[in-house]
Every structure is written in structure tokens, then in C-alpha cells.
Amino acid sequence: MKPIVAIVGRPNAGKSSLFNRMCRKAFAEKPFAIIESTPGVTRDRNYSEAEWEGKQFIVIDTGGFYAEEMLSEEREIYKQVKEQAMLAIEESDLIIHLLDGKEGLSLSDRELANILRKSSKKVFWVINKIDTPAKENRILEFYAIGIDEAIPVSAVTGYGFDDFMDKIASAVPPKTDMQVKAEEIPKIAIVGKPNAGKSTLINSLLGKKRLIVSPVPGTTRDAIDSICSYYGKKYLLIDTAGIKKKSKLNSIESFSVIRAIKSIERSDVTVIVIDISAGITEQDQKIAGASKEYGKGAIFLINKWDLAKEPEKEFKKIEHVLKNKMWFMDYAPFITASGIERKRITKIFPLVDEIIAERKKRIPTAELNKFLSAFASTQPFALYRGKELKLQYITQVDIEPPVFRLFVNRPLAVKDQHIRHLEKKLREEYSFKGTPIRIYVKTR
């Protein structure tokens, strides 16, 4: 496992800006933490990889650490934010305590410094928002909390960044052969509307409190990655921010929509979490449509099944509603589960394995053309401009998702209903469970 470096500190100290700068150097295409002037935007721990001078490590961006009393309606969330920071400290190898050089010391800084000193972890005391040599005298007041060395840096402009990263890299142990390559791990995006129970589901799968859980919709704003092990096999779980209707978006939530779509793009299989108490909505359909559009495998997980008063009746009902509202993804299996009670949630993993195998399936061209010949003999086609439509040849040209190229004499004669019927017959013959397939029509 790569060494873990956690960034902790009070809200708005610039943790997400520093996180983005640290990770952007080597991984410019990776999603980064949301940056917003609103205090407390980063509520969960956000993970990404970084590299400096050949040293690779994982960086954790945490929510703001509060010592002060909060408003009653915010107290529970910020209590959990504090717990997340404590978990990050516990699981990290190195800690960056980021302090605000513009605002100066606070009660939160002092409390967190005391906690860090007791942790027995290597701590770097980094003073942010120092962007010129003239401002470096601001770091002097921070020695009052008993630190050995204050490191000036500006996460926004990059002032002092190279020296800072040299210090981090020198303290990071060299990588080992025990590292697991991320591309070899099945990637599962957990997607759905806000408050559908995505974070609770992941916490239950991991067996620990990995994400903030709150009845307030939209609590998870970033995409959060976790490694989960099931019978010795590793899976990467990607928890996304809930996707809200555009009319309700503010600047933070619009970032979250982009993040959710990026999470779908990164995944092999998307688990579309639907709240049984809310039913299947238009927004659920849009989320499912995004999964299909990006060619990802899909599983419908009907969550909060513990609320179903008549399970057998509810099962038949949800089966019927799925068939009608998610008709465009009738290839996707569904399971009922309860994240909060941890019932049937591990059924996800065998299904993911099965779907990934289906996504990698290749059908030999000779076999496909025997299938096409049988299909054409039972499928009458109307004349197109007085001419007969002939299905000449079919071949599979790609996988993940499976892609087929159908050659015909008159492409304009092939209608959507013909393609849907051909897809239906392909699935009857070869399954392709849980994955979309693409069929492109060309002329020879």
C-alpha cells in the first residue's frame, strides 16, 4: 500500500487548494477536491495520488476541523466532520497540519495541534497563504503552539511549494512491490439521488465509518474512493455526490453533478441506488441514462428495503415499475437491500464480477454470422424505396462495452426498431447481462 499523507486543519485554511496542487503535478486528469469560499465545503475525506521526485503516495483531503460550538442544526454534521479528521489522522503515515497565515492562530488550531502531538505520527506544520518573502514573518506566531518548524507556502500561487514537497518526499518511505495497481481492481461507482443511502451503503460494505451520513440531502459533495475486500478480492468503491435537478443547483452542487458524471466515467459498473420510500423518479432515470450513455455496466440497488412493510408485494411492484420506467436498461439486474441493516448488500460483488466478464466477452465472427443468417431468415423487412434490405455481415469490433458492426446494402433502411430487435436477439443468444451493447450500421 502506498504511504498516506493526510491534510488536516480548520475550515478555509486552503486544504483543498493544497490537495489539488499536490496531486495535479503527476495526475492532471484525476478529479480534485472542490474549492469554494464557503467554510466546510469539503466534508468527507477525499483521496488521490501524488508523486514527487519518484516517491508516490496517497493524499487525503479532509473536512474542516472545528473546535468552536456550531449552530444546533449544523452541530451533528460538524461533529462527524471532526470524526472524519480523526480517522484520517489514524490511518495516515504522515500528517500536514495546514494553518492559515492570513487569519492567524485559532482555538481550532490549538486543539488540533494538541491532538496531533499525541498521535505519535510525523507532522509537518505548514503555514498557508504566504505568497511573498515579505509575508514570511507571519509564521512566527504559530510557534506558540509548540511546533519545531513552520513551513511557509501558498497553495494558490505555488510560493514555497517545491521546498515543501521536497520535505514531504524525503519523509515518505520508498514504494514496495505490495502496491496494488488501481487499473486491475474492478471499479464500482455508487450513484443516485441525494439521500438515497449511498454513503450508508459504502460504510456497511467497508464495515467502518468511512463517509459522513446525515439526513440532510447533499451531505456527500465530492466523489470518494475506498478499497473494499470481499473474499480476498479487492474492489474500488466510488461514492458520488447526489445528482440534483438543475433548477435546484447552486455552485457547489453543480460541481457535484460534474463529479458524479466523472465517477460514472471512471467506473466499470455503476450501482444505481434507488430509495424504496421515494420510488423511481425522473432523476433516477437520468442517472441510469448517464450510465448507459457512457457504456458502463449497471446494477439497480433498491435501498432501504427494511422500510418495506409487505416485501413480497413490494418486490413485484418494484419489478413492474423498473420494467416500465427503466425499459431502456432492461439488461441491468436489480437487487433489494438495506444499507443500514447490512442485508443482502454483498450480493453486489458476484454481480459485478459477472457483469465485468460479460463486458469482456467476444463472440467469434463466424458464430455471429451464423446467428445473423438465422435472424435475417425470421425477420421480414419492408422494401426501402422499392429495394430489398439485406443484412450482409456482422462482426464484434470492441469490448467494454461490446460493440458490433453490422454491414447492410442500404443503411438508411435500418430503423431504430430493427436495431432494438437485433439487440434483443443478441442478448437472448449471448446474454451480455448488465452491460449495454452498441450496434453500428455500415455499408460494405
Question: For 383-426, how does the pLDDT look when each residue is reduced to its tens digit (9 = 90+)?
Answer: 777 777 888 899 999 999 999 999 988 888 888 888 999 999 99
Q: What percent of the chain has pLDDT over 70?
A: 78
* 221 pLDDT above the threshold of 80: no
* 44 pLDDT above the threshold of 50: no
Which of 35-49, 60-74, 187-201, 410-424 comes out lowest in average pLDDT?
Answer: 35-49
283: buried, middle or exposed (CB in 10 Å: 19+, 13-18, 0-12)? Answer: middle
**Cell of residue 41, nine digits:** 465545503
pLDDT score of 84? 63
* Contact partners, residue 175, CB within 8 Å, separation at least 6: 2, 55, 56
Band (pLDDT 50/70/90 cuts) for residue 1 is: low
Is 182-359 the same fold as 4-171? yes
pLDDT score of 58? 81
User: How far from 444 is each of 392, 394, 398, 409, 410, CA to CA, in Å?
Assistant: 8, 11, 19, 7, 9
**Torsions phi, psi for 232 (to 5 deg):** 85, -5
**Residues facing 90 on adjacent strands:** none
Architecture of domain 4-171: 3-Layer(aba) Sandwich (3.40)
* Residue of 42 and 396 predicted with greater confidence: 396
Band (pLDDT 50/70/90 cuts) for residue 161 is: very high
Specify which of 175-179, 224-228, 375-379 reaches the highest per-range mean pLDDT: 375-379
User: How far from 243 is each of 7, 193, 249, 255, 389, CA to CA, in Å?
Assistant: 27, 5, 9, 10, 44
436 preceded by a cis bond (ω within 30 of 0): no
pTM over 0.75: no
Q: In the predicted model, what is the mean pLDDT of residues 38-57? A: 66
Residue at grid coordinates 422494401? 383
Instruction: Give the CATH number of domain 182-359.
Output: 3.40.50.300
* Residue of 44 and 120 predicted with greater confidence: 120
Closest CA to 267 of 230, 297, 290: 297
Can you tell me the distance from the alpha carbon of 351 to that of 433, in angstroms, rounded to the nearest whole number?
9
Look at domain 365-443 and name its CATH class.
Answer: alpha beta
* 155 pLDDT above the threshold of 70: yes
* Contact partners, residue 444, CB within 8 Å, separation at least 6: 392, 393, 407, 409
The full set of domain ranges for the chain reads: 4-171, 182-359, 365-443
* Residue of 34 and 83 predicted with greater confidence: 83
Can you tell me the distance from the alpha carbon of 333 to that of 358, in angstroms, rounded to the nearest whole number?
13
Q: In the predicted model, what is the mean pLDDT of residues 107-128? A: 89
**Torsions phi, psi for 54 (to 5 deg):** 80, -5
Closest CA to 220 of 195, 202, 203, 189: 195
* 208 pLDDT above the threshold of 50: yes
